[in-house]
Chain A
Amino acid sequence: MSEPFAEPPAVLATPDAVAEGLRAAGYLPDETIAGTVHLAAALEKPVLVEGPAGTGKTELAKSVARLTGARLIRLQCYEGLDEAKALYEWDYRKQLLRIQAGGVGGPGGEQWADVEDDIFSEHYLLRRPLLEAIRAEDDVVLLIDEVDRLDVETEALLLEILSDYQVSIPELGTVTARRRPLVFLTSNNSRELSEALKRRCLFLHVGYPSPEREREIVLARVPGISDRLAGQVATGVAGLRQMDLKKRPSVSETIDWARTLVLLGVETVDGEALLRHLHVLLKHQSDIELAGTRLARDTRPR
């Protein structure tokens, strides 16, 4: 990491430029999000985005890709994901064909040493997302989604890429990135990530947006909604999030609800309307009941 920094593209040059660009790309960032994305580009470090589900963590990476005009490469993590699926795999079928075609060992056939060199070249390598991101000629944004679902051992796979932007392949040597991609890792914090991984990343906590920001998000994402209704939707959801629920309503659920309201032609929501639409916002029966009892307390006679 001793080499001088490559200047980040103009759209990522200052936090304000990032904020501006993300807005244009349809993502409403707050100061922290814009500042961290700028810093990630300036320091060439990956960003670990953490926060509750449905707060736009994945969307952030997608929007940054849109903003920079880069290709998005996505690695969806799951339990049991291994090297062959994440990094690279030798295309053994192609290798076998090559050996047969060469007639190795037979009369007039090739020498094994030549063939060996040939079949362990990049031509016979199946690139999986991580290697793809490293080898890409164009600009890419690498999204490693739900990294907390990886097994602890597999997590170590990422370390080399995250710190040095390179991959070691025993037969080929070390493959280094031609240009360092922007890397986003998302986590729902279902388990504690290793210190080594955290140390290599910038940390960004994306919580639920404030009512004002959520109002703006609703306005931007739901066409035809009135300013007033958007404000009421944001307030209602913010209030629900204060209750002790199993799963608090996420931003995507807020947007769903706002869309429903627009479709139904509702112009103003009160406690009663919220009560009727609880099932759009809450996904657990016990949550619906809990919120229902609290809301029923204050529905006033009209």
Chain B
Amino acid sequence: MLTALEGLVAELREVGVPVPVSAVVDAARALTRIDVLDRGAVRVALRAVLIKDAGHLTVFDTVFDTFFALQEGTADGEDDDRGTTEGDGDATDPATSDDGDGDGDGGSGHSGRRGAPGGLQHLDDEALRDLLVRSLREEDAALLRALARVVVDRHGAVNPARPQDATYNLYRALRMIDSNGIATRLAAAADPGPDGDGVPSEVALLAAQAQVQRLGLALDTEIRRRLVAGRGAEDVARKLRTPLPENMAFLGASSLQVAAMRTALGPLARSLAARMAERRRRRRRGALDVRRTVRTAMSTGGVPVTPVFRRPHPAKPQLVVLADISGSVSTFATFTLQLIHALRSEFTSIRSFAFVDDIEEVTDLIGRAEDPTDIARLLNKAGAGVWLNGRSDYGNALSGFAERFASQLTRRTTVLVLGDARNNDLDPRTEALATVRRAAGAVHWLNPEPRESWNTGDSVIGRYAAHCDTVVECRTVRDLRAFTERLGAAGASLAPGVQPAAEGVGERRHDHAAEHHHHHH
């Protein structure tokens, strides 16, 4: 048990979940106070002491399933061995072998009405689906687990020699058992429609889709269990490591990862906005306001008891965002746009421009997005920023921007360029960026590529860097968050702590500009 705990903690740390030593001590103590044969109780206890952030719960569950995987045929509290052994040697009566996991969450009463006595593996897919719908509807975790075993047996095609196929195994199993069909049935069971015609309403469908995710989780757990049985927990953990959503790289993120990042971004934007607003409130004291101090002093006989200070001008920057939305970096661009628009109260104004090989303003388009996740779809539909073909042309886009919009930039404007600066060997036209920089207060370039691959191949980031105040490596949601926070905190001036552009940074004239605007707002 303690070995498994050590492995679990090591893996959590490896993934990026901070686990202090004191928490490990607490975990060991907790294990002495509970029934360690009850896997459900162990999970709850370890989760309560080791995890301190709701965003880490999913990762914990995955890692827990790896290190505390059920062993086939053991008398583990949660392990019910019906329908799993090879052949049909399922001698135990399902009603007695099912001891649940002591969770007491309404799971009682499911014994006895299980399917055929010979075990679940003799059922055909149709009957399995019926049972799956029932187990999801009644939230019968033990039945769902047993069904997951049969489904993975039949459709998962798990090969312990190839752990890297786990996602494919899951996809295949979900597809073969027809998870969409199950969702529809689930919805129909919950809401047969006003005429009993079996056409469920949209809310019922939405609710059912959420429930079917439990099936995905159960299958994933089962696939993982088999891999662990074949390879050992450490190895599986290493091969199937999923980073925390905030540490996933924008480039090359799978659609599943994008979904996870999207869920992480919502609360992040909220807490970031609260932090930035609070910090602005905190710096409440400006210079002494002599006139109002004297006025207040009149009530205390001319003695200035309470000095009055000017309210500082919140140095909110005006933002202009130029986003490369071509295929390779579009995830990054939409995430950044989404985060920045979620923080719109922290900036005086935000104008957004999208480009591929031409540039156009998309501020209105983004404003129209019903919810921020809609941004990507709207941009695609409008075909924004495309002139010739879908290949990035930074030179053309930037010079187009400089020509049409540079005159509208002021010293208070901060320009953000989002992109990998991979110019497809076209003319970068760096003079256009130079024009923009002369007009604006500051230019920051956010590059989603790792620093090692800058200036390799057709990347011309080095040539643009000469005309930027900073070039920031922005690979993950965490990087993006850090940058945004500094941006909001620093006003129009250089974000502190941002490393200056790698090569040939010009003079820091914008500092002066920022000071200037501070006093004459």
Interface residues of A, Cβ cutoff 8 Å to B:
5, 14-16, 19-20, 30-32, 34-36, 38-39, 42-43, 45, 47-48, 50-51, 189-192, 195, 198-199, 201-205, 210-213, 216, 231-232, 235-236, 238-244, 270-272, 274, 290, 294-295, 297-298, 300, 302
Contact = CB atoms under 8 A, between A and B. Distances in A.
Contact of B201 (A19, A199, A271): A271
Task: Give the residue among A36, A201, A211, A240 with the most B Cβ atoms within 10 A.
Answer: A211
A30 B201 contact: no
B25 to A, nearest CB: 10
Interface in B169-215: 190-191, 193-195, 199, 201-207, 209-211
B56 to A, nearest CB: 9
Contact of B191 (A32, A191, A270): A270
A121 B139 CA distance: 58
Nearest to B211: A211
A50 B47 CA distance: 14
Contact of B48 (A204, A232, A243): A204
Nearest to B102: A16
Interface string B109-142: 0000000000000000000000000000111000
Interface string B31-67: 0011100001100110111011110010000000000
A31 B142 CA distance: 14
20 contacts: A14-B35, A15-B102, A16-B104, A31-B103, A31-B105, A35-B45, A38-B34, A51-B54, A190-B274, A195-B20, A199-B20, A203-B48, A203-B53, A204-B48, A211-B211, A235-B207, A239-B204, A242-B209, A242-B210, A297-B202
A32 B267 contact: no
Given A43-B33, A192-B271, A239-B207, A270 B194 contact: yes
A32 B191 CA distance: 29
Given A16-B104, A202-B48, A271 B41 contact: no
A36 B48 contact: yes
B87 interface: no
A47 B271 CA distance: 22
A213 B51 CA distance: 24
B48 A211 contact: no
A196 B429 CA distance: 52
Nearest to A17: B104
Contacts of A241: 210
Contacts of B370: 244, 290
Contact of B202 (A38, A201, A290, A298): A298
A199 B267 contact: no
A198 B55 CA distance: 14
Rank and list the top 9 A-B pairs by shortest CB-CB distance, nearest first.
A239-B203, A35-B44, A238-B207, A31-B103, A271-B201, A239-B206, A242-B206, A239-B207, A42-B33
* Main SS class of interface, A: helix
A14 B137 CA distance: 28
B364 interface: no
B278 interface: yes
B23 interface: yes
Contacts of B207: 211, 235-236, 238-239, 242
B44 A36 contact: yes
Contacts of B424: none
A257 to B, nearest CB: 13
A41 to B, nearest CB: 9
B198 to A, nearest CB: 12
B102 A39 contact: no
B418 to A, nearest CB: 23
B456 interface: no
A252 B102 CA distance: 28
B94 to A, nearest CB: 22
Nearest to A289: B370
Interface in B381-413: none
A31 B20 CA distance: 25
Given A35-B45, A192-B271, A199-B22, A235 B204 contact: yes
A191 B274 contact: yes
Nearest to B107: A31
A15 B44 contact: yes
B251 interface: no
A217 B8 CA distance: 35
Contact of A43 (B30, B201, B203): B30
Contacts of B139: 210, 212-213
Contact of B49 (A31, A202, A298): A202
A40 to B, nearest CB: 8
Given A189-B267, A191-B278, A31 B104 contact: yes
A28 B103 CA distance: 13
A50 B48 CA distance: 12
Contacts of B202: 239, 271, 294-295, 297-298
A19 B49 CA distance: 20
A271 B207 CA distance: 13
B44 A212 contact: no
A231 B278 contact: no
A277 to B, nearest CB: 12
A235 B105 contact: no
B106 interface: yes
A300 B267 CA distance: 36
A1 to B, nearest CB: 9
B193 to A, nearest CB: 7
A196 B507 CA distance: 42
Q: Name, among A5, A31, A42, A297, the residue most crowded by chain B CB atoms within 10 Å (CB to CB).
A: A31
B512 interface: no
A271 B57 CA distance: 33
B351 to A, nearest CB: 23
A205 B44 CA distance: 11
B97 interface: no
A198 to B, nearest CB: 4
B511 interface: no
A34 B370 CA distance: 39
Given A199-B23, A235-B190, A244-B371, 15 more contacts: A15-B102, A35-B44, A35-B45, A39-B49, A48-B52, A50-B54, A203-B48, A213-B105, A231-B190, A236-B191, A239-B204, A240-B203, A274-B203, A298-B201, A302-B194
A297 B26 CA distance: 52
A191 B211 contact: no
Nearest to A41: B33
B194 A39 contact: no
Nearest to B23: A199
B516 interface: no
B29 interface: yes
B348 interface: no
Contacts of B267: 189
Contacts of B191: 232, 235-236, 270
Contact of A39 (B30, B101, B137, B204): B30
A70 B438 CA distance: 69
A10 to B, nearest CB: 15
B109 to A, nearest CB: 13
Nearest to B194: A270
Given A31-B105, A212-B106, A236-B203, A205 B57 contact: yes
Most B-side CB within 10 Å, residue of A190, A231, A239, A242: A239
Nearest to B270: A190
A204 B52 CA distance: 8
